[in-house]
Amino acid sequence: SAVISQKPSRDICQRGTSLTIQCQVDSQVTMMFWYRQQPGQSLTLIATANQGSEATYESGFVIDKFPISRPNLTFSTLTVSNMSPEDSSIYLCSVRLNAYEQYFGPGTRLTVT
Amino acid sequence: QKEVEQDPGPLSVPEGAIVSLNCTYSNSAFQYFMWYRQYSRKGPELLMYTYSSGNKEDGRFTAQVDKSSKYISLFIRDSQPSDSATYLCAYKTGANSKLTFGKGITLSVRP
């Protein structure tokens, strides 16, 4: 398995500001993902962040809004830019170890006022 | 038709009951099947995974896959209050493809 930590665990931010979420993994992994989970909803993939390449964004998500860094095999950041109340959600970091095993961090609970 | 449909909840059962959680899917290309458990205010936890049709057992949990009918089920025997959580089914088409999740069903096991 993989142990994943995220910072911050929660935050309350003002409209128009940006927040950077950090994800740290206890082992080196190639495939890392960022998801969003809105209240009462399932998980939606924002982007795939593989080390050594540009992040790949899913339909509906753009780099200007959700820039991602992946400087090495154990760390990634997701920034939520120019936030609006619609960005209030739980943001989850995830890593894939093999074809079957994909693990998630504890999540960052974001509230935008 | 949505790619993944999960039985709506919430579901409430008495302690010791056998629980059956079900998902159906429309994409016949799905080859990998997973169940995740998510406790309140926590990240999803990988519970079970399988590739082939049939049953896979792990302690009190059994994952069942029927590719011909396009459904998967998770059975929980001798359910415990600690099993109270949201259960999400997940699928993907290939080893490196993205996971597609069901909406999740919230289970409550009453002592």
pLDDT higher than threshold 90 for residue B30: no
What residues does B100 pair with on adjacent strands? B91
Whether the predicted pLDDT of B2 surpasses 80: no
Judge residue B8's burial from the number of C-beta atoms within 10 Å of its C-beta, 0-12 exposed, 13-18 middle, 19 or more buried: exposed
Instruction: Tell whether the model's pLDDT for residue A107 goes beyond 70.
Output: yes
Alpha carbon distance A91, A93 (integer Å): 7
| CA-based nearest residue to B105, from B73, B80, B77, B68 | B73
Tally Cβ neighbours within 10 Å of residue B20. Answer: 14
Task: Give the pLDDT confidence of B38-70 residue by residue, as tens digits.
Answer: 999 999 999 999 888 899 999 999 999 998 999
Chain B residues with CB under 8 Å of A103 CB are 46
Q: Among A31, A42, A103, select the one facing B46 at the smallest CB separation.
A: A103
CB contact under 8 A, A99 and B104: no
Q: What is the pLDDT of residue B1?
A: 66
A3, A93 Cβ separation under 8 angstroms: no
Q: What is the pLDDT of residue B31?
A: 86
- Pairs of CB atoms within 8 A across A/B: 46
Interface of B with A (CB under 8 A): 32, 34, 36, 41-46, 49, 51, 88, 95-96, 98-99, 101-104
Residues of B in contact with A92 (CB under 8 A): 43-44
Q: Residue B95 has what pLDDT? A: 81
Interface of A with B in 16-75 (CB under 8 A): 31, 33, 41-43, 45, 48, 58
Average pLDDT of A46-53? 89
Residues A75-96 pLDDT 10s: 999 999 999 999 999 999 999 9
Q: Which residue in A21, A23, A15 sits closest to A87, CA to CA?
A: A15
Predicted local distance difference test score (pLDDT) of residue A39: 83
The arithmetic mean of pLDDT across residues A57-61, rounded, is 96
